[in-house]
Structure 1
């Protein structure tokens, strides 16, 4: 929402629709209108809705320059936390074959650990997300990352499969707390017009973690017990990020709130405002959970079993499959960064929809080629668009979130979506191993390619429809909102957060200047 001078030359628009069906109809129509429908508040508190043309894309270098040294430090730590989280997770998914031999279990049995990890991440997201909104971003993240590293070490010393599953379940609880605090800390101080670019880069910490895990797997070789070395590296990364975070200050939001004298008005003020927010924002919460469910199915279905697909159906060796996986996720890093940047001009929802539809078209080129080079190239471009859609998500979720709950709301909706999609790898493996296709040498092999291809088409179409019918609040200002529980949000909470924090715009020499 924006605050400008009373006089505007922009074309007036119909008010923002209220209700599920009216919002869906309006969102669908707006998808095909280049200008964005924006609610504007003037200096007298009067509001109206108008069409605003998106600003042209700026030089990325100039956007980078808008971030201060402190902003960059916070962003880098958030990026590293998300990278370590991804490395921890993929240390297991890319070594499914090794672990199945080590524990003498089927690959489907091993993916049960992936399911349990994803299933329990939502609990950690709720706990650490609310802790981040109540106490600040710093110490919840420090505790979170150090415990994650210790649980990676505990995984290494799991002598039985039952112990392995128990540790990975506990691991999921702490893994769930990383995302919300990481993206809140990294993005909450970014200038408005740099958000799309920084969001795209931040999200690719996940892909970068995958690349590092694949490189580690390549480096240790294909021996059965080499999986432990990869887990040692993962433990070091997580503990290292936790220790680094100790030496950085608290979030600017909490520091300024303390300076302004914002303190909890009552012991239960935070929980009262949290409860009121959930009552007011339950529709938005459900929408974000649906969107994140589709997107988590999207990424896990297209990547978790891809290394297994190349090892079994395409008969690549461990080194070739690891190299192809690394190049695949390099494409994800590039696509997520570029499309996140483009979303600042093209729109959050349009970018997600177009990326999802292009990935559908690429399915045959993704699963039919033979050989390391061809699979590397097709995997690169497939993940370019899969993670291109994901590159928009960190800032899109932040903009859709109630301003004072930007740690818990994105983290919780993301991880509940993860929980619902948790059986994805297990489903793909189970169906693939029940159907045989001809491998490169003519022998029967599990049908990983066809199963992943069909599933990804269905999921990508679901993402396109959900994003097309959903809301968008690109450019929303939230940096000056006091933390929840200080008593300053009660009225906004009770009104259902209908009023955004104003974005102050002054007219200087006939041009808008953002403050």
Structure 2
């Protein structure tokens, strides 16, 4: 961001005032930011976004070490997505294997999503407290072991129990992965890197769909896909063992001169919750909409093509792969443009465009038409998602860049956890006539109507929400090291880093602060 030195009204306080100001700022291409001078005095100014730079030059800003952290985070997120979609794209096979309905199989998806918030809280706080490395290593290896346990589940009850435990550990991946990947990226490159990183989820889906295509359509072939998933997760965990801790985390801990005590961590966490609870609720609501958005538009799409559109396993898998290729392309492009166009504007435009494409998404009959429309729908669905990693990082309290994004994301997942089950239950209770004249489950209309409602919710929620594009968070100490006790009170200690003194507000991490070229 570049300052214009033009004064602006202060950052609004309160829910209604913030919503009103956010709506007004949506139509102003400049961004309202708070600038802090060397004396700790703050003023609010307008800043203009720096024009988009050549993406190759942005990628070149990352050092070899930066790339290392980014690729490990991307690999962890990809393996996490493969693990999840190994089940979601094989619901028909699993229903036949366990002798139950597709709606019952979708219960496993619901349980997985429901318990991810527990893992996000535990592993997120561990990442903020002890670093990104070892919590991720433990997380990924246990995930692989649980994939193997799924293969050996003899009954449907055992299967549900293992998938519930799997959800708990799966929840810990996202926060540490995006914190490690993005906190080491240069500020100008974060929009682009956020878009690429988020597409680890889509890439994991593509890999799972390719594996599903390769193993064929027999009842037992699903086990091979789970073996591959287990190998990927354990492999990422082992590889992470051989690479160092995040540079940002190490430098911050070194600057603090000591590790935080449990009491200090708890004191700072309580202070953060007291100050940021409104932001917390907003991010959970936003992530609820977004998780409904992705799960409703993708988890049952393979089932929709197999049942309502009567494609074979190979055709449905190929269409699913092309659909997620569109997601990878859209997320990367729109994440990149959000650095200039704005996080909220990018999300809103992408959601509106996805709504326009819904009829073309569910009406085609052949593999080619479904592949093309699926490509473009997911281009915009995951295009909006491509903004989310960096948007959540910028909205997060700086010391909680692992736990805050991870937990708000997974709480949104928990609330939206019945999405696949709801779609399956409604679709299987209503019927449409297929091209061959058969009465089949109404997956197409159900997904179309639900996606339109969800896209509208995302537009409204984002339009009235905050944005902190370009926010600095590099100089904040790890959680539990940003407070000190003075006169029996807990106060912010961040100024030890900035000016070598205590008790003075003005750290650039306060609400609305941004990195400016002055």
The question of a shared fold, defined as TM-score above 0.5 by the shorter chain, is answered with yes
**C-alpha separation in 2, matches of 1:267 and 1:79:** 31
Distance apart, 1:52 and its partner CA: 1.3
**C-alpha separation in 2, matches of 1:365 and 1:247:** 47
- The TM-score with structure 1 as length reference comes to 0.95
> Would the aligned equivalents of 2:4 and 2:45 in 1 still touch at CA under 8 Å?
no
Distance apart, 1:172 and its partner CA: 0.3
1:27 aligns with 2:22: yes
Cα displacement string for residues 347-383 of structure 1 (whole angstroms, at most 9, x for unaligned residues): 0000000100111111100000110000000000000
| Counterpart for residue 471 of structure 2 | 476
**SS at 2:310 equivalent:** coil
**C-alpha separation in 1, matches of 2:114 and 2:172:** 13
Cα displacement string for residues 256-279 of structure 1 (whole angstroms, at most 9, x for unaligned residues): 234335323544111111121111
Distance apart, 1:222 and its partner CA: 0.4
| Counterpart for residue 508 of structure 2 | 500
> Would the aligned equivalents of 1:280 and 1:493 in 2 still touch at CA under 8 Å?
no
| Counterpart for residue 128 of structure 1 | 123
Q: 2:33 aligns with which of 24, 32, 38?
A: 38
1:177 aligns with 2:172: yes
**SS at 1:378 equivalent:** helix
1:111 aligns with 2:106: yes
**C-alpha separation in 2, matches of 1:504 and 1:400:** 14
**C-alpha separation in 1, matches of 2:483 and 2:60:** 33
> Would the aligned equivalents of 1:264 and 1:270 in 2 still touch at CA under 8 Å?
no
1:209 aligns with 2:217: no
Any stretches of 5+ residues in structure 1 without a counterpart?
506-511
| Residues 302/503 of structure 1: CA separation in 2 closer, same or farther (3 Å cut) | closer
**SS at 2:432 equivalent:** strand
Aligned length: 502
| Counterpart for residue 189 of structure 1 | 184
> Would the aligned equivalents of 1:264 and 1:487 in 2 still touch at CA under 8 Å?
no
Distance apart, 1:503 and its partner CA: 6.2
| Residues 69/293 of structure 1: CA separation in 2 closer, same or farther (3 Å cut) | same
**C-alpha separation in 2, matches of 1:298 and 1:503:** 30
> Would the aligned equivalents of 1:276 and 1:493 in 2 still touch at CA under 8 Å?
no
Any stretches of 5+ residues in structure 2 without a counterpart?
485-489, 495-502
> Would the aligned equivalents of 1:253 and 1:483 in 2 still touch at CA under 8 Å?
no
| Counterpart for residue 463 of structure 1 | 458
| Residues 363/301 of structure 1: CA separation in 2 closer, same or farther (3 Å cut) | same
**C-alpha separation in 1, matches of 2:514 and 2:464:** 26
**C-alpha separation in 1, matches of 2:429 and 2:242:** 52
> Would the aligned equivalents of 1:277 and 1:493 in 2 still touch at CA under 8 Å?
no
**C-alpha separation in 1, matches of 2:92 and 2:261:** 54
| Counterpart for residue 508 of structure 1 | none
> Would the aligned equivalents of 2:335 and 2:387 in 1 still touch at CA under 8 Å?
yes
| Counterpart for residue 278 of structure 1 | 273
When structure 1 is superposed on structure 2, of 414-423 and 267-276 the one drifting more is 267-276
**C-alpha separation in 1, matches of 2:260 and 2:429:** 59
1:491 aligns with 2:499: no
Distance apart, 1:491 and its partner CA: 2.8
Distance apart, 1:487 and its partner CA: 4.4
Cα displacement string for residues 216-235 of structure 1 (whole angstroms, at most 9, x for unaligned residues): 00000001100000000000
**C-alpha separation in 1, matches of 2:473 and 2:249:** 13
**C-alpha separation in 2, matches of 1:458 and 1:265:** 45
| Counterpart for residue 341 of structure 1 | 336
**1:58-77, aligned counterparts within 5 Å?**
58-77=53-72
> Would the aligned equivalents of 1:482 and 1:488 in 2 still touch at CA under 8 Å?
no
Distance apart, 1:499 and its partner CA: 4.6
> Would the aligned equivalents of 2:482 and 2:493 in 1 still touch at CA under 8 Å?
no
- The TM-score with structure 2 as length reference comes to 0.94
> Would the aligned equivalents of 2:116 and 2:410 in 1 still touch at CA under 8 Å?
yes
1:10 aligns with 2:5: yes
For the aligned residue pairs, the C-alpha RMSD in angstroms reads: 1.8
**C-alpha separation in 2, matches of 1:312 and 1:267:** 54
**SS at 1:260 equivalent:** helix
| Counterpart for residue 264 of structure 1 | 259
| Residues 305/503 of structure 1: CA separation in 2 closer, same or farther (3 Å cut) | closer
1:253 aligns with 2:248: yes
**1:210-359, aligned counterparts within 5 Å?**
210-264=205-259, 266-359=261-354
**C-alpha separation in 2, matches of 1:268 and 1:498:** 25
**C-alpha separation in 2, matches of 1:476 and 1:27:** 17
